[in-house]
Amino acid sequence: MLPAPKRDRPHLADVLPSCLAAILGQQNRLHLPPVSKAIILLVDGLGAAALRARAGHARALASLMTSTSIIDSGFPTTTAAALATLTTGTLPGQHGLVGYTVLDGDNDRLLNQLSGWDDRIDPLTWQLERTVFERAADVGVRPVAIGPARYARSGFTAAVLRGAEYLAAGSIGERLERAAQVDAPLVYVYVPELDVAAHAFGWESVEWTAALETLDSAVAQVVSSLGPTVGLLVTADHGVVDVPAHAQVLIDTAPQLIDGVRFVAGDPRCLQLHFHADLPSGARDRVIAAWRDSEATRSWVATRKEAIAADWFGPVRPEVAPRIGDVLIAARKNIAYYDSRTATAHGRAMVGQHGSWSPDEVRVPLLRVGAFTR
């Protein structure tokens, strides 16, 4: 049986719309009280399970954890899809960012949605939904996004942060300090440091723990500077699982798994395979059957039709459906899939991974600070 999202739970898609509603004094999905200013701190790669496991190294954050402090990040649990979900308040089937790498059919290639933007694709039309920042500006609420300078002019920033004024700041502490000081009611702050450490060393490493301690110290310091009507939410786009090198699965060593496959998209923990367009249906069926025979005990194998029917991506626009793989392989065990013909040494050196359905990847914190604790 395929996993299915529980749409009755609070979700990452609820965060920014609820913050805008709180600024406007309106009811909202997260039941946030009215505030004069909302700060949303997005910590890339901070899973709820990892935060609990390292609570002794994050006492300020851990002290905010309650039984209602966990939400779902959505599927796939990858930054491109999740951040677009956060900033548009919609699911991947609507905003169109359905994975880390996806099929760009017009140009017959794979598009890396974090770093692969070029003049052949327009981020303002590829991401199909208006952002909450644009909706905020429509009603006179100034939106600001704060992050590292290197992301200020990226195609991904244009796709998911449009409508917000981007302000660059250096360290985590500097970003939070600027968020507290800036004269804007809606402020988004991005922290990539934990995800970077997780990919390089794993979330169980001393490097990841050190990044968590830095984050915790910065949050503890900014709390005292928040005014009485300012609310801060701390959340994440996904969690992380550590995958040792011996748990990497090389799909090209089994020809029956890649016969007729033109593109291998997605993430190592959630492949999205695209067949050659002229591959007969019988040949497609044989590849799908081979995947199920080989991997069913450690991954979910679903056709595009099955994944859409299981609500993996939420409602799917007709123009988004072709971006989703013909076949999806979502890891259930702590494994990661690679094609050694195209995988880089850097990619295969990554320890921390995400993209699939495990609770460690899907469940993320939603911590309420300041006026949001009322």
Residue 287: which domain range? 245-353
pLDDT at 180 over 80: yes
Categorize the per-residue pLDDT at 344 as very low, low, confident or very high, splitting at 50, 70 and 90: confident
Cβ proximity of 38 and 16 under 8 Å: no
- Chain-centre distance of CA 35, in angstroms? 26
| CATH number for 48 | 3.40.720.10
Asked if 286 and 340 sit in the same domain, the reply is yes
Asked if 211 and 315 sit in the same domain, the reply is no
Global pTM value: 0.97
Asked if 317 and 369 sit in the same domain, the reply is no
| CATH number for 293 | 3.30.1360.180
Asked if 36 and 157 sit in the same domain, the reply is yes
Cβ proximity of 270 and 78 under 8 Å: yes
pLDDT at residue 260, rounded to an integer: 98
Q: For residues 155 and 296, what is the distance between their CA atoms, to the nearest angstrom?
A: 37
Q: Which residues of 299-312 are buried (b: 16+ CB within 10 A; e: fewer)?
A: bbbbbbeebbebbb
Asked if 287 and 208 sit in the same domain, the reply is no
How crowded is the C-beta side of 72, counted as CA atoms within 13 Å? 16
**Residue type present at position 133:** F
Q: Give the pLDDT mean for 138-152.
A: 98
For residue 329, the SS3 value is: strand
Nearest to 240 by CA among 272, 269, 219: 269
Categorize the per-residue pLDDT at 346 as very low, low, confident or very high, splitting at 50, 70 and 90: confident
**Residue type present at position 211:** A
For the record, the structure tokens of 62 come out as: 């851990």
> How many domains are contained in the chain?
2
pLDDT at residue 321, rounded to an integer: 98
